[in-house]
Amino acid sequence: MNCCVVGLQWGDEGKGKVVDILAENSDVVVRYSGGANAGHTVVIGEEKFALHIMPSGAVRKKTCCVIGNGVVVDPGILIDEIEGLDKRNISLDDRLFISENAHVVLDYHKAEDQHRENALGKNKIGTTIRGIGPCYADKIGRSFAVRMADFRNVDSLKEKLKKIVDYKNKVFAALYKAEPIDANNIFKQCVVFAEKLKPYITNTTKYLHESIDAGKSILFEGAQGALLDIDHGTFPFVTSSNASALGMSPGCGVPARLVDKFIGVVKAYSTRVGAGPFPSEQDNEIGQTIREKGNEYGTTTGRPRRCGWFDAIAVKYTVAIGGVNEIAMMHLDTLAGFDELKICKAYRINGTETTFFPSDAVELSSVECIYETMPGWHEDLSGVTSYDQLPQTTKNYIAAIENIVKIPVTMVGVGPKRSQAICKS
Ligand code: GDP
Ligand code: IMO
Ligand code: MG
């Protein structure tokens, strides 16, 4: 069985936890998009792992880990992750495979990300400043791109970097009056990166197809969420990759036809970090309560997440574009304590009702949510171990969402730990 796990909202849905659970029965876990903008959390008992580039399957010692061609790799962060896991007695030796075609994030990408955000002022996107947009822009532009394969030949990389940094410095000086970046420093960093990462760099497309031919089960780990997809999300307040399920194939070279199941992860409410429209946002006491109860602060940047009611129109849309089969709904425990809960079941745009999500940021900013109001529950769900034990009000809430998005919720989360997930049989 090959499965793909994707976020169906604006990221941070709990993909790391779901991937870790499914990795128990997977031979290989593949990250195929995004970079260190992601922060995926795995909690096992009292131990916590926050992974940014490394697939969440890494914490299971027998699982092979692939970083696909679609990922933008910040080598310093990846090396820290490899060494950090090693210190915790989790070795990646002989089980980490990094695509030679994956693009490399270097310091000038992060500088450019920061300069651009500063220049945008109040119109900024609210990026993670991890250099994601500038690195993907260089990939598409081709002339100034550095790929993992370049670490195999540092002499030619040295020449390449001179040209790239010379160009970047001209742009940075002209547009942002920025201090120049030293190409030699970047090169010196790259020599260290190359030395440490070379053993893992390979043709991951070949590795994946050979694994599939050998009957191994592959788990594909999405990053971000479908509403942050560069083509189908709330542009320009998106990330720079296809963060919906549609990014899986180009990001690792495996066609969707070979994936048996697409599992979409959602929270039982909605959150968003950074700027951009968020129709069901509760910028009030309700949002504040969700944030504190759900510990809604960014895994990567520590920023407080904006919180709101579950938007079933947005999720119905991301299910449709991603061909998603089932839903894993996390954070049901967080919603305990509200007398009433709301689910957005339609939008009103200029007086007209619609149930189709308009991804255009301007149009989306003007929508008014039409809510279904449901009774809440006060029971503490954190110790619930089977679906039957859930209060009827919780089951009704899940059923109301299923009724709108038209696919089943097959897993629910009642706490951050690996053990706090229940499968609906
Ligand atoms: P990801 O980016 O989709 O992997 O999600 P993050 O790790 O950024 O954010 C999800 C947060 O919610 C993490 O702190 C998880 O430990 C936590 N979490 C996941 N599932 C649950 C759940 O069912 N209940 C609660 N209370 N926390 C959860
Ligand atoms: P995971 O995988 C939540 C958001 C940023 C910003 C926008 C663009 O943990 O779910 P970028 O740095 O990518 O150029 O920022 O996208 N963003 C995320 N939000 N979770 C993520 O990843 C995110 N990755 C990017 O906050 O609004
Ligand atoms: Mg996250």
What are the beta bridge partners of residue 409?
A: 327
Whether the CB of 84 sits within 6 Å of ligand 2: no
Structural domains of the chain, with CATH: 3-90+204-423 (3.90.170.10), 103-199 (1.10.300.10)
Q: Which of 12, 150, 229, 311 is catalytic?
A: 12
- Å from CA of 126 to ligand 2 middle: 9
CA–CA distance, 75 with 221 (Å, rounded to integer): 19
> Is residue 417 a contact partner of residue 385, using CB atoms and an 8 Å limit?
no
Distance of CA 342 to the CA centre of its chain: 25
Q: Measured on CA atoms in the order 361, 362, 368, 370, is the torsion positive or negative? A: negative
Token digits of residue 35: 């970079």
- For every one of its 425 residues, what pLDDT tens digit does the chain have, with 9 covering 90 and above? 999 999 999 999 999 999 999 999 999 999 999 999 999 999 999 999 999 999 999 999 999 999 999 999 999 999 999 999 999 999 999 999 999 999 999 999 999 999 999 999 999 999 999 999 999 999 999 999 999 999 999 999 999 999 999 999 999 999 999 999 999 999 999 999 999 999 999 999 999 999 999 999 999 999 999 999 999 999 999 999 999 999 999 999 999 999 999 999 999 999 999 999 999 999 999 999 999 999 999 877 888 999 999 999 999 999 999 999 999 999 999 999 999 999 999 999 999 999 999 989 999 999 999 999 999 999 999 999 999 999 999 999 999 999 999 999 999 999 999 999 999 87
- Å from CA of 184 to ligand 2 middle: 31
Whether the CB of 127 sits within 6 Å of ligand 2: yes
Q: Is 209 part of the annotated catalytic residue set?
A: no
Distance of CA 349 to the CA centre of its chain: 29
CA–CA distance, 359 with 229 (Å, rounded to integer): 10
Find the residues whose C-beta lies inside 6 A of ligand 1: 7, 11-17, 39-41, 43, 294, 299, 330-331, 333-334, 413-416, 420
